[in-house]
A and B are shown apart, each in its own frame.
Chain A
Amino acid sequence: MPSLSRDDVEHVAHLARLGLTADEIGRLQDQLNHIVEQYAKLAELDTDAIAPTAQTIELENILRDDEPRPSLPASAVLDNAPETRDGRLVVPAIIGGD
């Protein structure tokens, strides 16, 4: 089983968009490695011929008619947003320039 270096932990935190303190990274490195060691047990099983299960109940695709239906009023949704302007969410700039 692979083990996580401090760099690995920082990389995964970046992928997960989690801001962690130096202390947290150190603690998580120990804890994650301890947990991932437990995963090694799964390697005991030969699963080459086993199909994966993502969903346990035998349901076919469920379709509905594509008909317009009322949705929540925009105001009810925007009330939870940290910043709005003219009935829209304000998001941080993702492209440079003014």
Chain B
Amino acid sequence: MSGDLTRLTAHAMAVGLRAGDFTAEELATAHLDAIEAEDRALGAWLAVDRTEVLVQAHAADATLDLARRVGPAMSATLHPLHGVPVALKDLVSVRGGRCTAGSRILAGYTSPYDAHITERLRAVGAVILGKTNMDEFAMGSSTEHSAYGPTSNPWDLDRVPGGSSGGSAAAVAAYHAPVAIGTDTGGSVRQPASLCGIVGMKPTYGRVSRYGVVAFASSLDQVGPLARDARDAAALLHAVAGRDDRDSTSAPIPVPDGLLSLPDSDDEAAAGIRGLRLGLPREYFVAGMEPGTEARIREAVTLLEAAGATVEEVSLPHTDYGIAAYYIVASAEASANLARYDGIRFGLARRGGDVLEDYLATRGEGFGPEAKRRIMLGTYALSAGYYDAFYGKAQKVRTLIKADFDAVWAAGVDAIVAPTSPSVAWRLGAKLDDPVAMYLTDVCTLPVNMAGLPGASIPAGLSDGLPVGLQLIGRPWSELELLRLARGFEGITAGAPWRGVEPPGLAALRSASSPRPADRAAALGAGDR
């Protein structure tokens, strides 16, 4: 039955594992086989170690066997992700494994330790399946800035999966993994979730430890789950969230166990929407938004109202300033974080004759075009004479962006509903030579990082056959409420025709003659800058 196992949700896998319908080994093997057969044409994975995966699966099976002998009391103590395969974005450290962050500069690097979230996943008995493709150092919105080639979108293999967690999103949408870890600095979990038609959440800043996760912009980075439904996203968040002494920005705030008991029943989930006050920010319907995207978001609002929510228009007046402020803050922090790649302690090393030439040669060869742009932007914004005009100004605008959200919460709004991305997935190469056009795609997601808030993207239908994501934004620490709302939206749309549509690219993935993503990009004229 291994062909069918990949189609299950993680919560269905949990039931089957406990009942003995299949083993963690069978589950892992089904996913490994799918990756082996299909990833040539998808390009979602950077590293998969079958032997190591099966060792983890056998350990999970041993515990499941024991639990079946001991009885239901022990089964009840197992986490829902016990024995379930999980994909990790290739910037999460796994001891003894590679961790490239999508960069050539880390090509030969081996992680000497586990990230906190890796330890947590091991502790709950999850099976780490492998590492997924990403934009270099998580800088990008299309996964085309990976040093290891692009990833295709399972809905149309000629299109991008979004980014920077595009490998994780494509892997989940293509049934290569039921759930995946991503990171989100300006939209890098939510936007690929939107473009690939799955659920993704950026938790509140501080909810998940960043220890052992390669840093991009430290005041914005947050680890988040990607999954095919709200319950699975909630279970993965539950597994990795919580205080860790090794990340002093991880918050000592309890992680609600309610994340593991989102309603099974669609009706019960839908009933949770009744009485909610939702805000619709007028500034998020930006100029240039695709009509099909806007139509799906407006329809979602109508459905939420019909389910008993009140939806009122709200204003986030500084939205328009978000992109400029974000690209100053994020690039400045990135230029500081990426200073560590010096060719001396780890990573690529090139010798140039003296210490300065060593740095220039190592960093000039090791970083790709987008990382270089961000390092240059950040160094410039922090350099003498420009600090106040750029970085100081952007931090003040960050205060105004956060205050916009605070005013909405103070008015009694429970959550904000908005588009995740102004457009559906675009063709490979379409924005690659225009950085500003690429940056504009994050207009609806990056204010949420600037304000440190939790945000989710959930599927809300199709436009021209491509997925549209509905973004849900909440108060700090309201992940459970947002995921309940996400589950409620699943409840009210359970019978919608688009719910049953499979990504049309899946069939082509199985064809041995299907081109690799890099060949598709080349055929579309996608050039490097």
| Known pairs A47-B396, A57-B251, A59-B251; A64 contacts B375 (CB<8 A) | no
Q: How far is the CB of B202 from chain A (nearest CB, A)?
A: 13
| Known pairs A53-B395, A79-B112; A15 contacts B349 (CB<8 A) | no
B390 at the interface (CB under 8 A from A): yes
B328 at the interface (CB under 8 A from A): yes
B377 at the interface (CB under 8 A from A): yes
Give the complex CA separation of A45 and B402 in angstroms.
Answer: 15
Question: Which of B367, B386, B393, B439 neighbours the largest number of chain A CB atoms within 10 Å of its CB?
Answer: B393
Q: Chain B: interface residue count, which band? A: 35 or more
B522 at the interface (CB under 8 A from A): no
Decide: A81 and B346 in contact? CB cutoff 8 A.
yes
Q: Which 6 pairs, one residue from A and one from B, show the smallest C-beta to C-beta distance?
A: A56-B452, A19-B364, A19-B360, A52-B395, A82-B349, A80-B346
Chain A residues with Cβ below 8 Å from B320 are 41
Decide: B367 and A18 in contact? CB cutoff 8 A.
yes
Contact with A along B360-383 (1 / 0, CB 8 A): 110111010000110111011001
A92 at the interface (CB under 8 A from B): yes
Chain A residues with Cβ below 8 Å from B367 are 18
Decide: B321 and A42 in contact? CB cutoff 8 A.
yes
Decide: A28 and B343 in contact? CB cutoff 8 A.
no
Decide: B355 and A94 in contact? CB cutoff 8 A.
yes
B446 at the interface (CB under 8 A from A): no
Decide: A92 and B251 in contact? CB cutoff 8 A.
no
Additional A-B contact list (12), CB under 8 Å, known A18-B375, A80-B109: A12-B380, A16-B376, A17-B339, A18-B372, A21-B364, A35-B373, A35-B377, A38-B324, A38-B327, A41-B321, A42-B324, A72-B113
Decide: B402 and A53 in contact? CB cutoff 8 A.
yes
Chain B residues with Cβ below 8 Å from A47 are 393, 396-397, 400
| Known pairs A42-B393, A42-B394, A53-B398; A91 contacts B251 (CB<8 A) | no
Chain A residues with Cβ below 8 Å from B373 are 28, 31-32, 35
For the complex, would chain B's binding face be called helix, strand, loop or mixed by DSSP majority?
helix
B211 at the interface (CB under 8 A from A): no
Decide: A50 and B476 in contact? CB cutoff 8 A.
no
Contact with B along A77-98 (1 / 0, CB 8 A): 1011111000001011110000
B310 at the interface (CB under 8 A from A): no
Q: Which A5-36 residues have a C-beta within 8 angstroms of B?
A: 8-9, 12-13, 15-21, 24, 27-28, 31-32, 34-36
| Known pairs A12-B376, A80-B345; A27 contacts B206 (CB<8 A) | no
Q: Give the contacting residue for B358; candidates A32, A55, A59, A92; CB below 8 A.
A: A92
B455 at the interface (CB under 8 A from A): no
Chain A residues with Cβ below 8 Å from B450 are 56
Decide: B376 and A32 in contact? CB cutoff 8 A.
yes
Give the complex CA separation of A81 and B252 in angstroms.
Answer: 35
Decide: B399 and A17 in contact? CB cutoff 8 A.
no
Q: Which B416-465 residues have a C-beta within 8 angstroms of A?
A: 435-436, 439, 450-453
Question: Which of B357, B361, B389 neighbours the largest number of chain A CB atoms within 10 Å of its CB?
Answer: B389
Chain B residues with Cβ below 8 Å from A35 are 327, 373, 377, 435-436, 439
B204 at the interface (CB under 8 A from A): yes
Give the complex CA separation of A91 and B351 in angstroms.
Answer: 11
Chain B residues with Cβ below 8 Å from A19 are 352, 357, 359-361, 363-365
Decide: A92 and B372 in contact? CB cutoff 8 A.
no
Q: Which B244-268 residues have a C-beta within 8 angstroms of A?
A: 245, 248-249, 251-252
Chain A residues with Cβ below 8 Å from B112 are 72, 76-77, 79-80
Q: Give the contacting residue for A50; candidates B343, B346, B400; CB below 8 A.
A: B400
Chain A residues with Cβ below 8 Å from B380 are 4, 8, 12, 32, 36
Q: How far is the CB of A46 from chain B (nearest CB, A)?
A: 10
Q: Give the contacting residue for B376; candidates A13, A41, A53, A64; CB below 8 A.
A: A13
Contact with B along A44-82 (1 / 0, CB 8 A): 110100111111110100101000000010001101111
Give the complex CA separation of A70 and B277 in angstroms.
Answer: 50
B69 at the interface (CB under 8 A from A): no
Kindly report which residue of chain A lies nearest to residue B360, judged by CB atoms.
Answer: A19
Chain A residues with Cβ below 8 Å from B345 are 77, 80-81, 89
Give the complex CA separation of A42 and B364 in angstroms.
Answer: 31
Chain B residues with Cβ below 8 Å from A12 are 376, 379-380, 383
Decide: A57 and B452 in contact? CB cutoff 8 A.
yes
Decide: B396 and A51 in contact? CB cutoff 8 A.
yes
Give the complex CA separation of A12 and B402 in angstroms.
Answer: 31
Q: Which B170-203 residues have a C-beta within 8 angstroms of A?
A: none
Decide: B399 and A52 in contact? CB cutoff 8 A.
yes
Q: Give the contacting residue for A56; candidates B252, B342, B354, B402; CB below 8 A.
A: B402
Chain A residues with Cβ below 8 Å from B323 are 38
Q: How far is the CB of A62 from chain B (nearest CB, A)?
A: 5
Q: How far is the CB of A22 from chain B (nearest CB, A)?
A: 12
Decide: A59 and B206 in contact? CB cutoff 8 A.
yes
